[in-house]
A and B are shown apart, each in its own frame.
Chain A
């Protein structure tokens, strides 16, 4: 009974998008570490991406809305720090989604999402959000964002 419900929660969480990068869900981002059932309550273990990322608060609110909307009132979100979030938890499929969306995925070498060139130049290690750095493609000359490996 509960394991079915836990599966349902995972599915619902899979439909909560990352507030900054809406093509991927919070599950694909890797921030949902576990869903457990303890003392009549579902515990959702969430880990922050970057310590200060404002999206962390936003997606917690989004998760609450999504679960309540689907008649799951008895849950609690708990923040866990260990193991620290890493982009290694992202699957190949998720990385492909990022690339298609226009963000070079978190791999050792950035790649231009416009023309796939690897002839690129780092502009800044810091981008519009904590998780991205800024590059420029030396072939098509377009600037682009790269999801940092962390």
Chain B
């Protein structure tokens, strides 16, 4: 696989897998409005993934975007591990979303300057959507953190549990460095300072304490995942695998 294809797959898979996770809230939301909100965010993420996968398909010249999404196994997915984590309760989902949204905002802001025109265009478009996703998740973090003792305890625990997956946001491997040298990719390490500012501001407002950076999970850039991805793919890919060439 070409470097550029693999680099785009990482971004596409991250949106696709988080979108799939969020879609599980459809018809299960705590209120009707929230059900609609999470499903809408999921749809935006699928849209972003689709644009990127179409681009990979064009570069690849053989496989369609659908084939790329539905006919790969776990180890061929490069999404960040945080995206595949179980939804848990509403607070777990909101914290995961908040950490991802704040990262997406900075990532796309930087990718918008990419020398690759298609990537830059998709980044510009995604940025508009990520802005209101982040507003939504930030508001909920503040509401739950600065809510009752129970809601504060619960969301603090959610934050503590998922923190170890945030290290992957800022990793750089050989491929990232190559893409950065070509002015195509993003300098992930550079995003950290601004990410800290967003996170600290909202956590402070939410009366939540920022966990210490301890052991950080890693591996998705090489296709290594947690136990949750396999089950997610089993559900997501069931139909096109059980009924090859099905049209929908």
Stretch with Cβ within 8 A of B (4 or more), from A14-22, A44-52, A67-75, A91-99: A44-52
Report how many A-B pairs have Cβ atoms within 8 Å: 67
Q: How many of B's residues come within 8 Å of A, CB to CB?
A: 28
B residues in contact with A82, CB < 8 Å: 117, 120-121, 124-125
Q: Is the CB of B47 within 8 A of A50?
A: yes
As a 0/1 sequence over residues 102 to 133 of chain B, the CB contacts with chain A under 8 angstroms (1 = contact) are: 00000000000000011011101110110010
> Bound complex: CA of A148 vs CA of B34, how far in Å?
17
Which chain B residues (126-176) contact chain A, with CB distance < 8 Å? 126, 128-129, 132, 135-136
Which residue of the partner chain A has the closest CB to B19?
A52
**Once bound together, how far apart are the Cα atoms of A127 and B34, in whole Å?**
10
Which chain B residue shows the least CB distance to A134? B33
User: Which stretch of A4-12, A102-110, A118-126 is in the interface?
Assistant: A118-126
Assembled-state Cα–Cα distance A123/B31 (Å)? 12
Q: Is the CB of B33 within 8 A of A48?
A: no
Whether A81 contacts B50 by the Cβ 8 Å rule is no
Interface residues on A, range: 20 to 34
Q: Which residues of A contact B40 (CB under 8 A)?
A: 126, 130
Which partner residue on chain B sits nearest A83 by CB separation?
Answer: B124
Report if B46 contacts A (CB, 8 A). yes
Q: Does any Cβ of A come within 8 Å of B191's Cβ?
A: no
Are B121 and A84 closer than 8 Å at their CB atoms?
A: yes
List CB contacts (< 8 Å) of B152-204 with chain A.
none
Shortest Cβ distance from A133 into B: residue: B132
Any B CB within 8 A of the CB of A53: yes
Q: How far is the CA of A85 from the CA of B43 in the complex (A)?
A: 17
Docked complex Cα distance between A53 and B125 (Å): 13
Max count, chain A CB within 10 A of own CB: residue among B46, B47, B122: B47
B residues less than 8 Å from A124 (CB atoms): 33-34, 36-37
Contact among A51, A54, A127, A128 for B129, CB-based, below 8 A:
A51
Q: Interface digits, B202-237 against A, CB 8 Å rule (1 contact, 0 not)?
A: 000000000000000000000000000000000000
Q: Does B14 contact A (CB under 8 A)?
A: no
Q: Residues of A with Cβ closer than 8 Å to B?
A: 48, 50-54, 80-85, 123-128, 130, 134, 148, 150
- What are 9 A-B interface contacts by the 8 Å CB criterion? A48-B125, A51-B125, A52-B46, A53-B47, A84-B128, A125-B132, A126-B40, A128-B36, A150-B128
Q: 7 tightest A-B contacts by CB? A: A51-B47, A52-B47, A81-B121, A82-B121, A52-B43, A126-B37, A124-B33
B interface residue numbers (CB < 8 A to A): 33-34, 36-37, 40-48, 50-51, 117-118, 120-122, 124-126, 128-129, 132, 135-136
